[in-house]
Chain A
Amino acid sequence: MRRVFVAVINAYQKWISPAFPPRCKYYPSCSSYAASAISHYGFRGLVMSIWRLVRCNPWSHGGLDYAVTPANTFKNQPINSQKTSVGVR
Chain B
Amino acid sequence: MGAILNPLYNLVSGVIIFFHKLLTPIFGADSGVTWSLSIVGLVILIRIILIPLFVKQIKSQRALTALQPQMKAIQTKYKDDRQKQSEEIMKLYKTHKTNPLASCFPILAQAPIFFALFTVLNGIAAKTDAGVSAPIARGFLKGDYLDSAAQATFFGAKISQSFLGSPDTTVKIVTVILIFIMSATTFTTQRQLMVKGMPKMDSSNNMMLQQQKIMLYLFPVIFAISGVNFPVGVLIYWSTTNFWTWGQQFYVIKRNPTPGSPAYEELERKRSHKDKEKNRDASGTVLNPENPEVGQNNQEDDVKGQRKQPKKKKKR
Binding site for B on A (CB under 8 A): 15-16, 18-27, 30, 53-58, 60-64, 79-80, 84, 87-89
CB-defined interface of B179-212 with A at 8 Å, one 1/0 digit per residue? 0000000000010011000110100000000110
Which A residues are in CB contact (< 8 Å) with B199? 89
- SS of B interface (majority): helix
Determine if B101 and A24 form an interchain contact, defined as CB atoms under 8 angstroms apart: yes
Which B residues are in CB contact (< 8 Å) with A15? 214, 218
Let me know if B173 is at the binding interface, CB within 8 A: no
Q: Which residue of A has the minimal Cβ distance to B82?
A: A88
Which A residues are in CB contact (< 8 Å) with B101? 22-25, 62, 87
Q: How far does the Cβ of B111 sit from chain A's closest Cβ, in whole Å?
A: 12
Determine if A56 and B105 form an interchain contact, defined as CB atoms under 8 angstroms apart: yes
Given A19-B218, A53-B108, A54-B105, A62:B93 Cβ within 8 A: yes
A25 CA to B89 CA, complexed, in Å: 11
Binding site for A on B (CB under 8 A): 53, 56-57, 82-83, 86-87, 89-91, 93-94, 97-99, 101-108, 190, 193-194, 198-199, 201, 210-211, 214-215, 218-219
- Residue from the set A16, A53, A89 with the largest chain B CB neighbour count within 10 Å: A89
Q: Which residue of B has the minimal Cβ distance to A21?
A: B193
Determine if B82 and A64 form an interchain contact, defined as CB atoms under 8 angstroms apart: no
Determine if B103 and A84 form an interchain contact, defined as CB atoms under 8 angstroms apart: no
Q: How far does the Cβ of B214 sit from chain A's closest Cβ, in whole Å?
A: 5
Determine if B190 and A19 form an interchain contact, defined as CB atoms under 8 angstroms apart: yes
Q: How far does the Cβ of B13 sit from chain A's closest Cβ, in whole Å?
A: 27
Determine if A19 and B91 form an interchain contact, defined as CB atoms under 8 angstroms apart: no
A87 CA to B89 CA, complexed, in Å: 11
Given A24-B101, A58-B105, A63-B90, 20 further pairs, Cβ under 8 A: A16-B218, A24-B104, A25-B99, A25-B101, A25-B104, A27-B86, A53-B104, A53-B108, A56-B103, A56-B104, A58-B56, A58-B102, A62-B93, A62-B94, A79-B83, A84-B83, A88-B82, A88-B86, A89-B199, A89-B201
